[in-house]
Amino acid sequence: MKAVTFLALVAWAVLIITVIGTSWSDMTGPAYEFNREVHGHMENAYYANEPTLMKSELQKAIDGMRDLDLEPQMFGAFWGWDRVPNLRMSYQYDHLDGIMARINSTIVWYNANYGPNSTGNPESLGDVYEQKMDDLRAFLQEDGWSDWIAHDTFYVNHHLFIYLAPLIYLAMIAVAGILSVIAWIAEDMW
């Protein structure tokens, strides 16, 4: 076996081991931590069947972001040209505060119409209530989950290697591919 062929095989083996190791490391570390602290509560808020539970779970997601040290000045982007205001944690917190305000107004409406001092007929308001809850759910998952900035910010600021792993994989594929082509050409030449 020629040296170039051996190097090509080693490059492919290193790539495979790196992909598997990084994926395993992410699943058992940062991905699990983010899901436990933030995203799991975001999903619980989405599937909540009443506004106070939705509020409680959304607050836990916000608290989880703070527990993961996601500061308002941090960005969910690595490259300088991607560091725009809508990828900043301050926007993430403002966005979630807006959803929280909508949840609070739904709680006020719910208590006024379903509480012990309500004067209306709760059965006739069922469709309105369901529409309000569906609207809140839409805000939690509008074009993706409402923790999208926090997710990227967590990786960019605390787990950069895993965030940049796809680029590293591409570079490794390029090196392994070039070595494979050289080995293939070298084998034909000899």
Strands (E), 76-184: none
Residues 6+ apart with CB under 8 A from 100: 55, 58, 59, 62
Residue 121 has what pLDDT?
65
121: left (phi over 0), alpha (psi -120 to 50) or beta: beta
Residue 111 has what pLDDT?
84
In this structure, the number of other CB atoms found within 10 A of the CB of residue 74 comes to 22
- pLDDT tens track of the chain, all 190 residues? 577 778 888 888 888 999 999 889 889 899 999 999 999 999 999 999 989 999 999 999 999 999 999 999 999 999 999 999 999 999 999 999 999 999 999 999 888 887 777 666 666 667 888 898 999 999 999 888 999 999 999 999 999 999 999 999 999 899 888 888 888 887 765 5
Residue type, 25: S
Residue type, 95: H
Nearest by Cα to 101 from 148, 135, 64, 142 = 135
Residue 57 has what pLDDT?
97
Residue 122 has what pLDDT?
61
The domain limits of the chain are 3-189
Residue 158 has what pLDDT?
96
Q: Quote the tokens at residue 133.
A: 């809850």
Residue 9 has what pLDDT?
85
